[in-house]
Amino acid sequence: MPDFKQQVIYQIYPRSFADSNGDGIGDLPGIISKLDYMADLGVDILWLSPIFPSPNADNGYDISDYEGIMPEFGTMADFDTLLAGVHQRGMRLILDLVVNHSSDEHRWFRESRKSKDNPYRDYYIWRAPSPPAPLPKGEGGKPPDGLLPSPMGRGAGGEGTPPNNWQSIFSGPAWKFDEITGDYYLHLFAEKQPDLNWENPKLRQEIYTMMRFWLDKGVDGFRMDVIPFLSKDQRFPDYPEGRFGDVGVHANGPRIHEFLQEMHREVLSRYPDVITVGEGIGVSAGQANRYVGQHRHELEMIYHFDHAMPRDEQHFIDPAPEFTLPELKTIFATWDRALETGPDAPGWQNIYFGNHDNPRVLSRFGDPDGPYAYESATMLATLLLTHRGTPSIYQGDEIGMTNCRFDSIDEFDDIQVKNAWKALITPTNDPDLGRKFLKAVNRIARDHARTPMQWSDAPNAGFTSGPATWLKVNPNYPDINVAKQQAEERSVLNYYRQLLHVRRQTPALQAGTYRDQLPNHPTVWLYERLLGEERLIVVANVSQHETDMPIDLTGTVVLANYASVTGTLRPFEARILLERA
Ligand code: GLC
Ligand code: CA
């Protein structure tokens, strides 16, 4: 079995991880200073969110030079030191590959927009304006009632209307008119993130060359940003009826598998043991093996969005209710089964509860501010690290970091929140709506995951020696921080350490089959992992109410988050039991 199936990923959001020079922004020397911390935690693979030069419209997910280092983060020499330090400690390092789009400040785009015959023109997706014509009534392109009309058809001058009705994931139309040549370019994300044209073989070769540059340096692989979006339907049809604004429409385009197989042939297959994790936005369980099936020669693993916090524009006013436990169980069981069976099986997935695009997992499913913070954080850790798949731990989750309270829109940084506010609230000038929005983002915004890492109870959580930080520090840092948890035996951090150790020692937890034994139980998650003679049972009370043990369990306790074992399941109690056949 390849290594990556036994290993655990730790995701670092460099801007918020550790600041070495007091400017309030995390950096590479900061990460270097914490390598022993991560090795000691027991993780295997570090994934760095983007570290490349960027105007930071989307915090590095808008890259202006794919082969450099963001000056705020350090230098290429720092990067080389970091990579060597990771390898010295027996860990591996993967980078974020963001190639659905670049920054509009990338040299390619600056050239591309100059003229229609510029050699870089076809590196991006340009289309002439549609003539300004009202949409016929009742046809596919019409936004459903209740959605705010998009500012399409501004119409004056040569702008006409955008080529189709696609919406940016960060609000507004996905097309931006560019005066210089009188065409629109496509940006599925921010205006400053023009989509690259994967139809162009020259662009694809540039990307492959860049990937080889990093792999030749010794980088161990890539996490691939919005990879299912690369191939666009070249007819650029309006959204199908009933799916206006649905991001799923942009995923799994006609040539996506051809492109990934080409990437595999030209780059990935030439580097043994390269790790690839696709961000599987818009990929259903049934489609997953097309990307990760063992013989597909595409990716090693992807992660899905089925349990991610829904964050389409309307959710910034009316957030979706949180998933119930039976819903979560169905999602996990469905994915596990889909990867194991069906065409192109077997496949493998990367599993997560938290990342930089979701609020904190403890705030979603645990008891962040109540008496059971420890129990619920360790229970969630147990679930994450005992499911089948390669888990990713998001920075700070290993100490039970929580959502932060944001008192006004100005405290946010994330372009998704700011653009949604501009689209939904600014034009209405309605304070009630503004309050609703603020309440929603206090639950669902991505910035909750991006507040600085809480290292100690020193000012600014020990994240920086400087007076200010780029995003506010969660005021709960005196209670929740690494130094405190290192000193206490019973801490979330020490539980993670033990759990990672148990996982490493227990092949059934890595490769064993998964079987949910109580799919309909409203509060207890109880499943089996089985490999040969080794049978483990994981049981977790995903609620704050004590409950009877739903079935009799035998076996010895390998790890539990309560000191004693009783016949009931106390609030957020989790146990891992081992039975030998
Ligand atoms: C991915 C990233 C997210 C980013 C977006 C655009 O979803 O994870 O942070 O905003 O792509 O690059
Ligand atoms: Ca810094």
Ligand nearest to the CA of 308: 1
Among residues 555, 507, 532, which one has the least CA distance to residue 388?
A: 507
* Protein residue closest via CA to atom 7 of ligand 1: 226
- DSSP letter at 531 equals E
pLDDT of residue 149: 42
Q: How confident is the model at residue 147, as a pLDDT?
A: 47
Is 180 within the bounds of a domain? Answer: no
334 and 274 together in one domain = yes
Residues 39 and 92 in one domain: yes
- For residues 210-222, give the mean pLDDT: 98
Q: Are 470 and 334 members of one domain?
A: yes
Ligand 1, atom 9: closest residue by C-alpha? 357
In a domain, 168, yes or no: no
Q: So what's the pLDDT on residue 156?
A: 43
Q: What is the pLDDT of residue 159?
A: 87
φ and ψ at 394, to 5 degrees?
-90, 135
**Poorest-confidence range of 35-39, 339-343, 357-361, 538-542?**
339-343
Cis peptide before 237 (omega within 30 of 0): no
User: What mean pLDDT comes out for the span 381-387?
Assistant: 98
Check 44, 191, 195, 279 and give the catalytic one: 279
What is the model's pLDDT at position 131?
79
**Ligand 1 binding pocket mutation candidate from 59, 186, 225 (most atoms within 8 A of CB):** 225
Residue 533 lies in a domain: yes
Question: How far is the C-alpha of 228 from the C-alpha of 245, rounded, in Å?
Answer: 16
Statement: residue 492 has pLDDT above 70: yes
State yes or no: pLDDT of 251 exceeds 70. Answer: yes
pLDDT at 142 over 80: no
The confidence score (pLDDT) of residue 556 equals: 96
**pLDDT at residue 151 in the model:** 44
Residue 198 has pLDDT above 70, yes or no: yes
Residue 580 has a pLDDT of: 73
Asked about 279 being catalytic, the answer comes back as yes
pLDDT of the residue at 403 = 98
**274 shares a domain with 332:** yes
Whether residue 502 lies inside any domain: the answer is: no
Q: Last residue of some domain: 493, 523, 549?
A: 493
Pair 532, 481 in one domain: no
Atom of ligand 1 nearest to the CA of 61: 12
At 158, the pLDDT band (50, 70, 90 cuts) reads confident
195 given a catalytic annotation: no
Q: How confident is the model at residue 342 (pLDDT cuts 50, 70, 90)?
A: confident
User: Which among 49, 169, 193, 226 is the best mutation to test ligand 1's pocket, defined by most ligand atoms within 8 Å of the CB?
Assistant: 226
Return contacts of 142-148, CB within 8 angstroms, 24+ apart. Answer: 142/244, 143/244, 143/245, 144/242, 144/244, 146/314, 147/244, 147/245, 147/313, 147/314, 148/313, 148/423, 148/424
Residue 392 sits in the same domain as residue 535: no
pLDDT, position 260:
99
In this predicted structure, the answer to whether residue 148 has a pLDDT above a threshold of 90 is no
Q: What is the pLDDT of residue 388?
A: 98
Tokens of 281: 């936005």
Counting from 1 in the atom list of ligand 1, the atom nearest the Cα of 100 is 12
Token pair of 312 as six digits: 């389409």
CATH of the domain at 550: 2.60.40.1180
Q: Give the model confidence (pLDDT) of 47-102 as tens digits.
A: 999 999 999 999 999 999 999 999 999 999 999 999 999 999 999 999 999 999 99
Find the 76 Cα to ligand 2 centroid distance in Å. 15
Where does a domain end: 429, 464, 493?
493
DSSP H helix total and E strand total for the chain: 15, 18
Ligand 1: centre distance to CA 237 (Å):
24
| Cβ–Cβ < 8 Å for 561, 574 | yes
Residues 470 and 538 in one domain: no
Is residue 155's pLDDT more than 50?
A: no
User: Ligand 2 centre and the CA of 412: distance in Å?
Assistant: 20
Is it the case that residue 141 has pLDDT exceeding 70?
no
Do residues 437 and 395 share a domain?
yes
- Considering the chain, what is the average pLDDT of its residues? 95
**pTM of the entire predicted model:** 0.95
According to the model, what pLDDT value does residue 205 have?
98
Residue 354 confidence (pLDDT): 98
**From 225, 300, 313, 397, active-site residue:** 225
Give the residue, by CA position, lying nearest to ligand 1 atom 5. 61
Q: Would residue 209 count as lying in a domain?
A: yes
Where in 320-411 does DSSP place strands (E)? 350-352, 390-394
Question: Does residue 397 share a domain with residue 278?
Answer: yes
Percent of the chain with pLDDT over 70: 95
161 within a domain of the structure (yes/no): no
Predicted confidence band at 30 (pLDDT cuts at 50, 70, 90)? very high
Among 13, 58, 171, 191, which residue has the most ligand 1 atoms within 8 Å of its CB, making it the best to mutate? 58
CA distance 409 to 512: 46
Which listed ligand is nearest to 26 at the C-alpha? 2
Distance 358 CA to ligand 1 centre (A): 11
Tell me the CA–centroid distance for residue 187 and ligand 1, in Å.
13
Which domain does 257 fall in, by range?
A: 4-104+197-493
Do 422 and 519 lie in a common domain?
Answer: no
Shared domain for 434 and 524, answered yes or no, is no
Residue 157: per-residue pLDDT: 52
What domain count does the chain have? 2
Does residue 207 contact residue 99 with C-beta atoms inside 8 Å? yes
Q: What percentage of the chain reaches a pLDDT higher than 90? A: 93
Q: Is the pLDDT of residue 133 over 90?
A: no
For range 261-284, the mean pLDDT: 98
- Residue 137 falls within a domain, yes or no? no
50 Cα: distance to centroid of ligand 2 (angstroms): 15
* pLDDT band at residue 135 using 50, 70 and 90 as cut-offs: low
Cα-to-centroid distance, 73 and ligand 2 (Å): 6
Say which CATH number the domain at 424 has: 3.20.20.80
Checking if the pLDDT of 2 tops 80, the result is: no
Helices (H), 366-472: 373-386, 415-424, 431-444
Top mutation candidate among 12, 56, 61 for ligand 1, by most atoms within 8 Å of CB:
61
Distance CA(43)–CA(559), nearest Å, equals 18
Give the model's pLDDT for residue 136.
54
Residues 475, 555 within the same domain: no
Q: Is the pLDDT of residue 453 over 70?
A: yes
Task: Say what the pLDDT of residue 480 is.
Answer: 98
DSSP 443-491: HH-GGGGTSPP---SSGGGGS-SSS--SSPPPTTTTTS-HHHHHH-SSS
* Ligand nearest to the CA of residue 468, numbered in listed order: 2
The answer to whether residue 316 is domain-embedded is yes
Which protein residues have a CB closer than 5 Å to ligand 2 (ion)? Answer: 19, 21, 23, 25, 27
- The last residue of one of the domains, among 493, 524, 557, is 493
pLDDT value, residue 152: 43
Model confidence pLDDT, tens digit, residues 363-376: 999 999 999 999 99
Residue ranges lining ligand 1, Cβ < 6 Å: 58, 61, 98, 189, 225-226, 279, 356-357
Give, using CA atoms, the residue closest to atom 4 of ligand 1: 61
